Amino acid sequence: MEKLKQEQNNSDCMGKQPGHNDEAGPSLKMIGIGKSFPGVRALNNVDFSLRCGEIHALMGENGAGKSTLIKVLTGVHPMDEGRVYLEGNPVLVRSPQDAQRYGISTVYQELNLCPNLTVAENLFLGREPLKRCLIDWKRMNDEAECLLKELNILAEPTAQLDSYSIAIQQMIAIARAVNTECKYLILDEPTSSLDADEVQRLFDLMRRLKKNKVGIIFITHFIEQVYEICDRITVLRNGELVGEYEIENLPRFELVKKMMGKEIEVLSDLSVHKDESSSESEVPVLEACNLSSGASKVAPFNLKIYKGEVVGFSGLLGSGRSELVRTIYGADKAVEGQQFIKGESVTIKRTLDAMKHGMAYLPEDRKAEGILSELSVRENIIIALQAKRGIFKRLSRKEMEKYADEYIKLLDIKTASKETPIKSLSGGNQQKVILARWLLTNPEFMILDEPTRGIDVGTKTEIQKLILKLAEEGKSVAFISSELDEMLRTCSRIVVMRDRQKVGELTDSDLNQETIMRTIAGGEQ
């Protein structure tokens, strides 16, 4: 009976054959979706469609609106405007329970499973088969075994979940979603923690689901994976729909342009700053040889940074930019390769080691990893210097106040006083406080990850000028930004990342938008 029901669902889903690429017609349609949060228009008149038996990539940079669109579809956020249709019928998805009832399931990057339970228990959690009001363990294990065999997942129903790799757990999460009569499966960054072989096993499972007429929304930042597995691509940017494309009609280079919102043009007003004194004959301030970390899965890379250089790191979100610099700084532990500071081999096992070797690191997420929100501006400014000096060389209150006053004035930090809680400051002024914190340690090498994101134009310009001033004073800077214009104004050399690999270094005449985007896209013409 269940099989007959599934065949009927598949038959209904196929619909009429119009005789072109849209074989099944849109089974799921979202029309004119709008969603606002206080002060933010997250989605503006966005359309999206999904066919039965297709794998559809949802692409866009950070803040594009992908997560919000998915949360609207799955009932996490109510939409302000728009309509949702399933198989031609209007539906209201007001909660995740509604979504599940309509056959919409999501597998998130962070797996929502219970590692201390068995595979079968995870597959049937909350839906355990009963016999005389008790769990029918034999039936549950037998049904789990059938499901695993059907999807070719190499796992034993009675084995504890955490005895398997993340890749197998990911597939078990998908099997659980499919087993709830899922017609529409959303995979949110499912390959972010998988190696190449594990990715291929996951893709095999996705292809099997596709043959069974399951529509799959695939959210990823890996361009090569999109072109390997997907049928269509929808691109969002700044909460708006850029377009929906058949995969064969959108070259990689065009995809990068649409995601980044950059048209190819000559930017004659941009000046590239380069320290002419640095040369290959000099000893680099920092050198990495075949360096890689286990946590970030960045491919082994080589890198040299010289005195007075501003070296940019470019690539789409998820390309490995942040992971590479975190490995250099010891925020992600290196598992292979070597590092050299001024020609001498060093071992950096933790961030304090990096600080003692003259490094500073301004992280991408200032709220989660940068500011200490409950502490004052003064305490946030002096904390790195105090950590570097150690617990037995405490700064006096007089020293703390002197340093705080000095850097509040130097960076023009807008605050009522140095004792104001940092959480009361604007985003731009919080960023200046973090910069002050690291400048106070007098570093020779600074890593600045998106230092101008989410701040006003005036403060952004001030920070760009400060970066160039630091380079003129002989400090070396690793600079990450999603804005190509900003990178070109500031950097003397740009390292390009794609799919967690370093794929190029650009200097001189190659420092232009077109070359950067072509390198990101894989050298496509």
Phi/psi-derived region of residue 468, left when phi > 0, alpha when psi is between -120 and 50, beta in every other case = alpha
Closest alpha carbon to 155 in 166, 169, 139: 169
Helix (H, G, I), strand (E, B) or coil at 85: strand
3-state helix, strand, coil in the chain (%, to 5): 35, 25, 40
Task: Give burial (CB, 10 Å; 0-12/13-18/19+) of 259.
Answer: buried
Phi/psi-derived region of residue 297, left when phi > 0, alpha when psi is between -120 and 50, beta in every other case = left
Average pLDDT, the chain: 82
Q: How far apart are CA 79 and CA 73, in angstroms?
A: 9
89-91 sheet: strands from edge to edge: 40-51, 26-37, 81-86, 89-91
| pLDDT per position as a tens digit, 425-471 | 777 788 888 888 888 888 889 898 888 776 655 667 777 888 888 88
Phi/psi-derived region of residue 212, left when phi > 0, alpha when psi is between -120 and 50, beta in every other case = alpha
Closest alpha carbon to 166 in 141, 207, 195: 195
pLDDT tier at 160 (50, 70, 90 boundaries)? very high
Q: For residues 227-252, b (16+ Cβ closer than 10 Å) or e, as one string?
A: bebbbbbbbbbebebbeebebeebeb
Residues 6+ apart with CB under 8 A from 370: 362, 363, 430, 431, 434
Distances (CA, A) of 521 to 31, 252, 457: 30, 5, 29
| pLDDT per position as a tens digit, 357-393 | 888 888 877 667 777 878 899 998 988 888 888 777 8
Cβ count within 10 A of residue 169: 19
Q: What is the pLDDT of residue 14?
A: 38
| pLDDT per position as a tens digit, 386-420 | 888 877 788 888 989 898 988 888 888 888 888 88
| pLDDT per position as a tens digit, 55-70 | 999 998 766 888 899 9
SS (H, E, C) 312-333: EEECCCCCCHHHHHHHHHCCCC
Q: How far apart are CA 149 and CA 427, in angstroms?
A: 52
Report pTM.
0.61
| pLDDT per position as a tens digit, 315-326 | 887 788 888 988
Q: How far apart are CA 228 and CA 226, in angstroms?
A: 5
| pLDDT per position as a tens digit, 182-225 | 899 999 888 876 767 778 888 988 998 999 899 999 998 778 88
Q: With 80 as the cut, is the pLDDT of residue 90 above it?
A: yes
Helix (H, G, I), strand (E, B) or coil at 502: strand
Q: Are 82 and 93 in contact (CB under 8 A)?
A: no
Task: Fill in the DSSP letter of residue 343.
Answer: T
Q: What is the pLDDT of residue 45?
A: 95
Q: How far apart are CA 120 and CA 248, in angstroms?
A: 40
Tokens 């996490």 belong to which residue? Answer: 76
Q: Are 8 and 18 in contact (CB under 8 A)?
A: no
Residue with the larger pLDDT of the pair 281 and 406: 406
Q: What is the pLDDT of residue 62?
A: 66
Percent of the chain with pLDDT over 70: 87
Percent of the chain with pLDDT over 90: 27
